[in-house]
Amino acid sequence: MDSNRLVLVTGANGHLGRNLVPALVQRGYRVRATVRDTADPARTAGLAMPGVELQSLDVSDERRFSEVATGVDLLFHLAATYKNYTSSAAEADEMVRDSIEGARAAVNAAASKGVRRLVLTSSVVTLPLMPKGGRATTEDDWRTDFRLPYHRAKTLAEQEAWRIARTRGVDMVAVLPGALLGPGFTRSTSSTDAVEAMLLGAFKAGVPDQNFPAADVRDVVRGHVLAAESEAQGRFILCNDVLPSFSEMIRLLRQIDPSVPAPGPLIPRFALPLVPLFDWINHRMLGTPRMVNRDFAAAVGGMHWTMSNERARRELGWRQEVPLEQSLADTVAALRQLRASAHRGPVPATA
């Protein structure tokens, strides 16, 4: 790569950003990495390296966004709040508002500063869930069930970005990652919370008959780079070739560490409304993260992810390279480190 090419990465302190920034440096880019506040050492830890310039940015601030986009050739807009569980309407509304305003500011900054290409990190949650055995969803599909604030936030933000990009002539491509697993995170996410709950035995009494839209962060990083460096247009799903069930994930975790509690029987559909209560009990008794409220159970219960990475394979030359077993092992190692640094109880040790 041309070492004079400057790329901007928003949300650089997230799970994806912490893996994407060094990958871009290794490819010879100069990276301007933004976090909400560079004065907060927790946000900048691990990002200070040769070839990286750190900047503070509230992505909803269009004027500031335009400033940090000056001289940028490629813009990777990663910044977003990732939270499936919200405890109040105000928290949910804030997440939706911030997502839409951030996407709007990113596209407007790209337009005003002549950024050559914008890579927008969206999510597979912008795709509809289907009944088990239902048709495969593709990049042409859009979610219409907005009961979950995170699903609403990501869908409306991406749609707003496309609207402005077409109006202002911005060359934009959208990447739709699955639930990120793998190394390199310094705070938990909704994706890693699910693995942590499995490790702590949250599914001993019963496990949902659902699958998990897994994607390793290293595979998703490669997908972002391919999307940026190609001339491909549109949306690209980045997920594992096979989306594992919750039971399958727990089985693999038990191969990594036999002390991981075995899952219980599949929870029948009529009992799904009780899952939020079990989630609360597990939180109080086992210390698992809160993951499920009534809206989540109603929106997700009994439904499955059916999407495919076929378009990314065909048009980007992307493929899954990291096996799920490796991805889970690296996730567990990072979770153990997080719990140790927070002086919380241990999760089972990896073999």
How far is 299 from 148, CA to CA, in rounded Å?
Answer: 7
CA distances from 45 to 37, 54, 70, 184, 190 (A): 12, 11, 25, 11, 21
What tens digit of pLDDT does each residue of 280-311 get? 788 788 888 777 777 776 777 778 999 999 99
Residue 78 dihedral angles phi and psi, to the nearest 5°: -100, -30
pLDDT at residue 350, rounded to an integer: 41
Give the pLDDT mean for 73-81: 93
Alpha carbon 277 to chain centroid, angstroms: 26
59 by Cβ neighbours in 10 Å (0-12 / 13-18 / 19+) ranks as buried
What tens digit of pLDDT does each residue of 35-72 get? 999 998 888 888 999 999 999 999 999 999 999 999 99
pLDDT at residue 42, rounded to an integer: 85
Give the pLDDT mean for 169-187: 97
- Of 195, 99, 215, the closest CA to residue 148 belongs to 99
pLDDT at residue 90, rounded to an integer: 86
Q: Which helix (H) or strand (E) holds 236?
A: strand 234-238
How far is 144 from 129, CA to CA, in rounded Å?
Answer: 10
pLDDT at residue 351, rounded to an integer: 32
Q: Which CATH superfamily is domain 6-181+214-239+306-322 in?
A: NAD(P)-binding Rossmann-like Domain (3.40.50.720)
CA distances from 195 to 117, 181, 251 (A): 35, 9, 12
Q: Are strands 130-131 and 172-177 parallel, antiparallel or unpaired?
A: unpaired
